[in-house]
Structure 1
Amino acid sequence: MNLLAKKSLTVFTSLALAVTAAACSSGGAGNDEAAESQVPGSESSHSASPTESDGSLAKYDPPITIRTTAAEAKDFLNEGETTENNVWTQGYEQELGIKVKYDWITKGDNYTDKMNITLASGDLPDLLNVNQTQYKQLLDAGQLEDLSEVYEKYASELVKKFYTMGTDGLKPVRQDDKLYGLTYYSGSYDTSPMLWIRTDWMQNLNLEPPKTMDDVMNIAKAFTEQDPDKNGKKDTYGLELNKDLMGGGDMNPKGLMNGYHAYPGIWFKDGSGKLVYGSIQPEMKTALARLAEMFKAGYIDPEFATKDVAKASETVMAGKAGMFFGFMTSPFSVSGMITNENQIDWLPYPIPSADDKPAKVQNEVSYGNIWAIRKGYEHPEALIKLMNFAVEKTFGESAKTEAAKFIGESGQGFHVAPIKLLEPNKNVGIYHHVVDALEANDPSKLNREEKSYYDGITSYRGGDRSQWWFERIFGPDSSQKIIQHYIDNDSILLNEFVYPPTKTMATKGATLGKLELETFMKIIYGNVPIDEFDTFVQNWKKLGGDQMTEEVNQLVS
């Protein structure tokens, strides 16, 4: 979903994404579906269209049929269309000679359960749309077609480009040098943590932007003790958190922990090249000690353990806290407090370091669901051609004249397509284009999506503070500027484990996750001493963590 649609529909999510990451994603890691990315533009700067001569969009004659399944997308259909008969299915048949037949269509929240029943039945559709766990089940059973050759032969240059933007977008579906599917890869940059601070409070107290984690502590102290809202009451505190801690969404402490070189919940390489779990590393103990110190001093919302992301956002919007760690989409969490009747403002800042070692921010690649072909289907290349078609109509040369037809005026018509891929990591490029246009006072070179953000910023600057979020996501002092800072300084640390859960993850991961959350919460609240972290690490290892670590390293070796 794009920023405009998200705002108009008031879609504020707190899903943990494996990130999601795009202009409309919430700031966390991904669920079974990738966070929807930006509206495809009606203009393109990409390479020339694929043609029939290279096979990427060659039409089948006679036509072929491909069986698949779908979650309903009624909200995005044009009048008179159905999931079975719409501009996309018509385009496939007319231009590619591919007839799409649905074995079943169900509501989105029933899709995973319905697919589990289908997998158990053994009657598989030709084209499978599955989550990572289901994909692993099919792969282990030898039920998926190897797509290596047909991908190399038929994938358009634009599709191949998209799957290599930022990192390997097909990494989760590569096993033993073979390719078994396509991912809904949306990049990673937009899942980067950053620090959001109320700048009107900083001005009231004559505070400077933070350059170190000690500065963050001092700002939190000032916001708690020096009456930053000037109401004569001691009713504010520095930092807001939410009860999920390591979960997705705003108001989580991951950014603070990154400042202490701790990376909770992700797997990364240690000095020997072995993958290790961030939550059990020594740096995490230091970060937790700091949080416990802040909580004891009253700098953190004393009731955060009872608040989910939505409730924590309400606390911030009520003017009770002046700082939180969030993401590029965090303006959506606080935009309701920005009105023409006040001068409230927030600015994002890079995560500062606690020492002389530059801080890195942890980052999740969003891969979403997986499309695969059942073993034995005679036209596995059809999946590749359907992907070529979707990318071409929304981002290729054809998009200049046909994007409106396929994605509609709302820009959301891509939801109807059974196969889709939105340009990964493109928001930072949009930021540069919009800022350049603002500086030149000339939006003529912007595409439709970019122009909508430009117009929002100019409306905000013209006095409409309801458009503030445009300025803070794509303006000169925005979250995308912070992401560019991370890119320039090589400050992004990717989660290296992007595969379906290992055996031990599937059986013991929930128990270990509960142990982690409960221990961290007790330490922060001061219910147990900081040395309880060492006991947690020992228990984590004994209860399955060591086995899980071994499995992870075997999988990636």
Structure 2
Amino acid sequence: MRWRKGVHSMRRKAMLLLIGSLTIVLSAGCAKEKNYTADTKNTGNETSAPRNKGVAKKPKITVSVYDRGQIPSGEGDFTNNRWTNWINENAPVEVEFIPIPRNDEVPKLTALFASGNAPDLVFTYSGVLRNDLFAQKQTLPLDDLIEKHSVEYKNLLHQYPAVRKLGMQLDGKIHTLTRVTGLMGANHTLQIRADWLKKLKLDIPKTTEELFNVAKAFAELDPDGNNKKDTYGIQLSALGDSVIDHMYNYAVPYLFDSKQQLVRDWERAKVVTEYKKRFYDAGLVDKDYLTDVNGEKAKQDWVNGKLGIRFGNVSVISLPEFETLKKNNPAAEVIVIPLPESPYGQFSPAFDVPVGPYGFVNAKAKNPEAVIQYIDFLNKESTIRTLKYGFEGEHWKKGDNGCPAPIDIEKNKKELNWNFDYWTPPASTIFLGECALPEKAYDPNIQIQKEFINLILQAKEAYISPKRPKGEDVGFMPPFPSDLQLIQAGSTEEYLALYQKSIVGGTKYSVEQAVNEAKTNWLKRGGEKVDKFIIDYYTNRKDIAFISKVDTYAGFK
């Protein structure tokens, strides 16, 4: 289980518990068309292996694929489209794809396993689900299969020790499949209005105290020059909460103490929550930030020039946000800066680990050797290149930077860009070299994209360094026994709700009260058993467990 992803979801639930009246309704629809026949021609240097008479029949396997409802009209459905056809023409196996709704993957996959109809190869980012199914003996140990039947994946195991560490379960065998992407760039960032700093004659904040003072100036000294007190200094909603936790090395509540013993640090929870409360009590943030569960209000404040310090992304999904900011505020200057140093040191916000878990093989797979063959196929550089960029001369040409550049963006939207769930979970994009770097996806000849490239590079310089490691000591939780699962269930949402209550509670409910209440409730429900289990797991497995500040950087530049 990846702790931060789980906590992000729990943090949102805690907000809902606190504000009570907020209701979120999510709906999704997907129109699907059957009997699709695509032109699956193979151009460039790709190898085609059409199924002709006389050729040995390929083994058949079933594979899950996330269904986000993103396939354009006329392009088929998730089981039959131009890319499923290409895969089946070129892979050493015949694949039947089983669509899994992205927002309901856990109940859907749980039901499939309960009915005995689960796919042979399961792609899932849910560490909780992987751990639960391992505990139920539904996942297959892969050590011997990889050794005897794999080339590509076996090479990854030998070259990158973290592949084995993240793949290993409590029985000491590899059950979890992982991909290698390398240290590509940052997910979360601290962005600041540099033009506001210049106008108010302020330096870039280098400590958490300086960050508070800059936020105070942004909220009180009219940085936009409209003679109104209508700007917010800093964002607390959505990513703001998480990034501040990282500043204090508290993304995960289990920390190594001065003797390198893992402990649960309740005192750190008090310190970081008191820091957040200072911003709220001083009026430097949106007073209704708890209702901004998805950060949409903060985003609108940012693009409309009413927010000075933004915790956001520098990825393909955030380019439109940057474009809107510049359109609304042409004079805006944005920079990404390192997280300020806290009393505990200087750290970095969340970014994808260079090796990431993505799936497992069903213990009841009829032909696990064929599954391993397919995993190898998906980890070939030629496969990744084709599924990511399409066909040379049709979807892409070599750009000025030597990397694939789209020929027709609109054509790619219709034919290519929606296929990512067939390849991104298992793809070790490190094989693509520099062309896989996020900044290579943009055109430096377009001014707005050139500026965005600079933000990506600033983020990489600021955060991807062992000198300023990610603000967590351990990140992947072991699978809990069923009795500990019952103790753990709901506890994180509960204590986060208490912390949030103390932030907005003024003098009526202090941070100290919140932390004491959270700790008391945790111990009452038997939480010390969970603490002991986690601490023992890392203490007894120091040589094979994934330690964030070491293994995130080992073997990567």
TM-score between the two structures when normalised by the length of structure 2: 0.70
- Alignment partner of 1:230: what SS? coil
Amino acid at match of 1:528: Y
Matched ranges for 1:148-227 at <5 A: 148-157=143-152, 160-161=155-156, 167-168=162-163, 171-183=166-178, 190=185, 193-227=188-222
In structure 1, how many angstroms separate the alpha carbons of the residues matched to 2:432 and 2:259?
Answer: 35
CA contact (8 A) 2:122 2:361 kept: yes
Amino acid at match of 1:233: K
Q: CA deviation at 1:469?
A: 6.1
Q: CA deviation at 1:194?
A: 3.5
In structure 1, how many angstroms separate the alpha carbons of the residues matched to 2:422 and 2:350?
Answer: 32
1:67 aligns with 2:54: no
CA contact (8 A) 1:158 1:396 kept: no
Tell me what 1:534 maps to. Answer: 516
In structure 2, how many angstroms separate the alpha carbons of the residues matched to 1:534 and 1:210?
Answer: 32
Tell me what 1:371 maps to. Answer: 360
Distance 1:350 1:272, change over 3 A: same
Tell me what 1:553 maps to. Answer: 535
Tell me what 1:339 maps to. Answer: 327
Distance 1:331 1:348, change over 3 A: farther
Distance 1:269 1:112, change over 3 A: same
Q: Deviations over 1:126-152 (max 9, x none)?
A: 334454344334323333332102223
Q: CA deviation at 1:512?
A: 1.6
Tell me what 1:296 maps to. Answer: 281
1:483 corresponds to which of 463, 471, 486: 463
Tell me what 1:312 maps to. Answer: 298
Distance 1:412 1:512, change over 3 A: same
Q: CA deviation at 1:321?
A: 2.0
In structure 1, how many angstroms separate the alpha carbons of the residues matched to 2:200 and 2:161?
Answer: 40
CA contact (8 A) 1:76 1:413 kept: yes
Amino acid at match of 2:359: I
Tell me what 1:121 maps to. Answer: 115
Tell me what 1:263 maps to. Answer: 250
In structure 2, how many angstroms separate the alpha carbons of the residues matched to 1:419 and 1:295?
Answer: 40
In structure 2, how many angstroms separate the alpha carbons of the residues matched to 1:270 and 1:419?
Answer: 37
Q: Deviations over 1:393-442 (max 9, x none)?
A: 344799999678899945536436378523467999569896xxxxxxxx
Q: CA deviation at 1:221?
A: 1.6
Q: CA deviation at 1:332?
A: 5.5
Tell me what 1:324 maps to. Answer: 310
Q: CA deviation at 1:202?
A: 1.0
Amino acid at match of 1:281: W
1:512 corresponds to which of 465, 469, 491: 491
* Greater shift in the superposed pair: 489-498 or 111-120: 489-498
In structure 1, how many angstroms separate the alpha carbons of the residues matched to 2:156 and 2:249?
Answer: 33
- Alignment partner of 1:302: what SS? coil
In structure 2, how many angstroms separate the alpha carbons of the residues matched to 1:428 and 1:18?
Answer: 31
Q: Determine what percentage of the aligned residue pairs are the same residue.
A: 20
In structure 1, how many angstroms separate the alpha carbons of the residues matched to 2:142 and 2:273?
Answer: 46
- Alignment partner of 1:347: what SS? strand
Q: Deviations over 1:203-235 (max 9, x none)?
A: 111111112222112211211221111111122
Q: CA deviation at 1:296?
A: 1.8
In structure 2, how many angstroms separate the alpha carbons of the residues matched to 1:311 and 1:400?
Answer: 34
Tell me what 1:446 maps to. Answer: none
Distance 1:423 1:145, change over 3 A: closer
1:471 corresponds to which of 450, 453, 456: 453
* Greater shift in the superposed pair: 487-496 or 177-186: 487-496
Distance 1:211 1:83, change over 3 A: closer
In structure 1, how many angstroms separate the alpha carbons of the residues matched to 2:522 and 2:284?
Answer: 30
In structure 2, how many angstroms separate the alpha carbons of the residues matched to 1:506 and 1:395?
Answer: 38
Identify unmatched segments of 5+ residues in structure 1: 1-15, 21-41, 43-48, 53-59, 243-248, 435-449
Amino acid at match of 2:120: D
Tell me what 1:422 maps to. Answer: 427
In structure 1, how many angstroms separate the alpha carbons of the residues matched to 2:178 and 2:349?
Answer: 24
CA contact (8 A) 2:152 2:379 kept: no
2:446 corresponds to which of 454, 459, 463: 459
Identify unmatched segments of 5+ residues in structure 2: 9-41, 50-54, 397-410, 541-557
- Alignment partner of 1:531: what SS? helix
In structure 1, how many angstroms separate the alpha carbons of the residues matched to 2:276 and 2:424?
Answer: 44
In structure 2, how many angstroms separate the alpha carbons of the residues matched to 1:210 and 1:428?
Answer: 35
* Greater shift in the superposed pair: 293-302 or 163-172: 163-172
CA contact (8 A) 1:70 1:418 kept: no
CA contact (8 A) 2:199 2:223 kept: yes
In structure 2, how many angstroms separate the alpha carbons of the residues matched to 1:509 and 1:543?
Answer: 9
Q: CA deviation at 1:117?
A: 2.0
Distance 1:77 1:337, change over 3 A: closer
Distance 1:378 1:482, change over 3 A: same
CA contact (8 A) 2:349 2:463 kept: no
In structure 2, how many angstroms separate the alpha carbons of the residues matched to 1:338 and 1:518?
Answer: 36
1:497 aligns with 2:476: yes
Distance 1:343 1:422, change over 3 A: farther
Tell me what 2:27 maps to. Answer: none
- Alignment partner of 1:168: what SS? helix
In structure 1, how many angstroms separate the alpha carbons of the residues matched to 2:223 and 2:173?
Answer: 58
Q: CA deviation at 1:61?
A: 4.3
TM-score between the two structures when normalised by the length of structure 1: 0.70
